[in-house]
Every structure is written in structure tokens, then in C-alpha cells.
Structure 1
Amino acid sequence: MSGARGTVTAVSSNGEYSFTKPNRESITLLPGLGVAGDVHAGVTVKHRSRVAQDPTQPNLRQVHLIHGELFDEVAEQGFDVAPGQLGENVTTEGIDLLSLPVGTLLRIGPEAVVEVTGLRNPCLQIDGFQSGLLKQVVGRDDDGNIVRKAGIMSVVRSGGEIRPGDTILADLPTGPHRPLDRV
């Protein structure tokens, strides 16, 4: 079953721990690991807070994707955010990442496939980047439920090079769909 379609607008990676990631001409996804040369690539968790809790946990956050439409949304509130500045590896356009269920396969470019694992849980570092931005990317819906808008996390199922302009195709999982939760 096929779902949504979108486009890659930017790709980013950083070999050092830093909140932002510089844009690149391309990035290479490695099966079961993440983005080649990125500090968050690996079989087990690489995010500092996760390593402190349990360094043997599986890395469900190998590739971070953010919908570029979020940058337009926060710009309306006076924030200037560009691709890579929130630490994402892939910036997208035209696909509602936040509505995808767990287990969705995203086919990116000619070869790469990532499996959606959950939502990014934004942290206080976002306010360190731009004061007040955290409130723009985490809020509450009308029922009081927390809404996380800072993108989704995934693991690499099939490797390959991806670059701006590549198409993204979503293959939704069969059976009942589980909504995304933080990972």
C-alpha cells in the first residue's frame, strides 16, 4: 500500500556533537547504522541523554527527518530556522511526516529506505538555539495532549545516497496503524 509523496529539500550531517548540522550535497545512508560520518550513526543509541540511561539500547534514531513546512510555521512567529539547524539529517517538503504510522517505509531517492520509528522528543537545546522556539515545536492539542512537531526518527533498512531533489515515497504498513510516539 502506498501513501504520501514528497521531496528532499536538504540533507545534513555532522561528525561532531553539535545542535546544528551543516547542509551537504549528499549523504549516504548505511543499513542498520544511519548516516555515514554522522555522530548519531550506530547500532546502539548515540544521543548523549540516551547513552547516559543505557548505552546498549538499540538506536531507533539513526536518521532524523523534519518537514520544511515547520520552518514556515515558526517564521510566522518570528523565528528564522533553516534546514539542518534543528539537527535533522533530511529536510522534506510535501509529505506530512507527523501523520505517518510507526513502521512506514520511506523510499528516498533511487535506493535508500528508512523505517519510521517515532517522533523526535524536542529538548531544551532548542531554546538554547533560539529562545522561545521550544514552545513552537512542542505544544498541546485541544484535548491537552502533547503535540511534538520537531520531526520524526527512523532506522535505515536499505542504504544509498540521497540528495536534495530526490523523491520520497511512503509505503504504509499493513494492519492497524500505530500513531507515532516519542522515541
Structure 2
Amino acid sequence: MAKVVSVNISERKGTIKKPIEVGYFRENHGLEGDAHAGNWHRQVSLLAQESIDKMKRMGIWDLVAGKFAENITTEGIELYTLPVGTRLKVGEEVILEISQIGKNCHEACEIRKITGDCIMPREGIFAKVIKGGFVRPGDEIEIVAGT
């Protein structure tokens, strides 16, 4: 079963996000109060705990959810293998549509400075909020449609 490990937020772009107990993901906007929210194709970022664990095996031990600036840390789903257009149901009501796999990482980002590397450009994904609602750690993630 795929699930949400952590919901993470930051007020500024390029900084580590802090875990929150519940996040409201607004349709066509993103996570309320997050610096990356807005009317564009990268409203929400997701990264798998399994990807973070790869970095830990490389000897970077102090990695936790949000350190790569992801809004949702997941477990049990290989996100970066899902095609653009795939829709995910997160929790009881939220529908996300994958809009981008990976990204170009700016060299001076806080994450790269701290870790020496950033897995987000290779294995992070981005999505638009198709249907809004609340997301909490422990919520189930289900693939509901794809292209």
C-alpha cells in the first residue's frame, strides 16, 4: 500500500520544508501557504522515502522528510516511473495529476549545500491539484488514471 509519510511546507522557495500535521491542497493552486503554490504546472512536489533512503545509503544520515523541499513524502510507490498525466488519489478527496518528472536543480539551493547532492532532480515529481482537500501523514495513495 502506498501512503503519505509526511506533508511539508515552506514560506520561501529553495529552502527545506517543515512537516505539518495536515495540509490543505487547493484545486489549481497547491498546498495553502507554501511558496511553490500558484497557478502553474508545479503546484505540488512529491518525493518517495525510498529515494531519500538511497541518499542515506550514500552516507548522508541526517536526511528527513522535507529536506529536499518536497510537499509530500511518500512510501510504497515508485513515483518517478509514473508517466506525466497519471492521476493519484491522495487521502479521501485530493486528486493530483503528474505534470513533470524531475527538474533542473539550481546549484546554490539550500538542499544541495547541506547534502552535497539532490535526488529531487532525478526522482522527484511535480503535480497539479485537480481536486482539492486535506492530506495527512498516513493517508493512502492510489493511482486512479493515467495517459
Q: Same fold (TM over 0.5)?
A: yes
1:46 equivalent in structure 2: none
2:54 equivalent in structure 1: 73
1:60 equivalent in structure 2: 41
**Aligned equivalent of 2:127, options 139, 144, 154:** 154
2:4 equivalent in structure 1: 8
Deviation at 1:19, TM superposition (A): 1.4
Q: Does 1:123 align with 2:106?
A: yes
Report the TM-score when normalising by structure 2: 0.90
The letter for the 2-side match of 1:148 is R
Cα root mean square deviation, aligned: 1.6
Contact 2:16–2:66 under 8 Å retained in 1? yes
Identity of aligned pairs, percent? Answer: 34
Structure 1 residues 15 and 127: CA distance shift in structure 2, 3 A = closer
**Aligned equivalent of 1:163, options 136, 139, 142:** 136
Deviation at 1:71, TM superposition (A): 1.6
Secondary structure (helix, strand or coil) at the match of 1:110 reads coil
1:144 equivalent in structure 2: none
2:94 equivalent in structure 1: 112
The letter for the 2-side match of 1:83 is A
The letter for the 2-side match of 1:22 is K
Deviation at 1:70, TM superposition (A): 1.1
Misfit runs of 4+, over 4 Å: none
Contact 1:117–1:153 under 8 Å retained in 2? yes
The structure with the largest alpha-carbon Rg is 1
Report the TM-score when normalising by structure 1: 0.73
Q: Does 1:28 align with 2:24?
A: yes
Q: Whole-Å Cα distance in 1 between the matches of residues 51 and 4 of structure 2?
A: 14
Q: Which runs of 5+ in 2 are unaligned?
A: none
Deviation at 1:18, TM superposition (A): 4.5
Contact 1:101–1:172 under 8 Å retained in 2? no
Q: Which runs of 5+ in 1 are unaligned?
A: 44-58, 139-146, 175-183
The letter for the 1-side match of 2:122 is R
Q: How many residues align?
A: 143
Deviation sequence 1:19-49 (CA, Å, 0-9, x none) = 1010000111000000001111111xxxxxx
